[in-house]
Amino acid sequence: MTHKLQIETFEFPIDSIEKEWKEAWGSPPPKRTGSYPITHYIVAVHIDDEYRPEDKGKPIGYLGYHRERDFVWYGDAFVHPEFRSSAGVGGVYSTLVHDRDVANSKPKIAGLRPRATPLPEYLAMQQTKGWVIAPDDETISRDFPSFPKVVINMMRKKYLGQEGEATWALKKYDDAFDKTWMRITLKDFEPVGE
């Protein structure tokens, strides 16, 4: 049976996550191997009294990102082995993904190199979350015009020849909330209660 772990998430700059992780676990987090910038992290902190209470208050997972003017880089994901679904714990990664998406209101780009899941299974899961895997030029110009050509070319070059091991992907920003807010603020309405 999977335990749905109670966590809180926080936004940390890169130097803070390295320091906090080392203090909590006695060693630094796994070294990032990416070639694009990651400067901030959404970090999951254990707050559950019913699962490993001795680890309460420790960071147990993180997802990285870096904001550019028109898009966001995603990368550097890690969940401590004792808090993964394979250890019977649920909710850590999915909560991190949700909270990172909420914090970043622009289109996203990421390299996809799973550490513990076979690539086809991982890509199928990412596609259900709206990621477009290694899109062609037509798809990019139609659906992702904010990405500079130099960035697209860099990702294509980086992942060329890594079939079966890694790839890259783009994700649209779901701006349904922004569209609704715009409709509300642009309407001519009378304030109530003032």
The tens digit of pLDDT for each residue in 67-117 reads 999 999 999 999 999 999 889 999 999 999 999 999 998 999 999 988 778
Nearest in space to 25 (alpha carbons), one of 75, 63, 79: 79
Helix (H, G, I), strand (E, B), or coil: what is residue 175?
A: coil
Distance separating alpha carbons of residues 26 and 136, to the nearest angstrom = 44
Question: What pLDDT band is residue 189 in, cutting at 50, 70 and 90?
Answer: very low
CA separation (Å) from 94 to 9, 103, 143? 12, 14, 25
What structural domains and CATH numbers belong to the chain? 3-186 (3.40.630.30)
Q: What percent of the chain has pLDDT over 70?
A: 89
Distance separating alpha carbons of residues 31 and 28, to the nearest angstrom = 8
∠ CA 165-39-99, nearest 5°, is 80
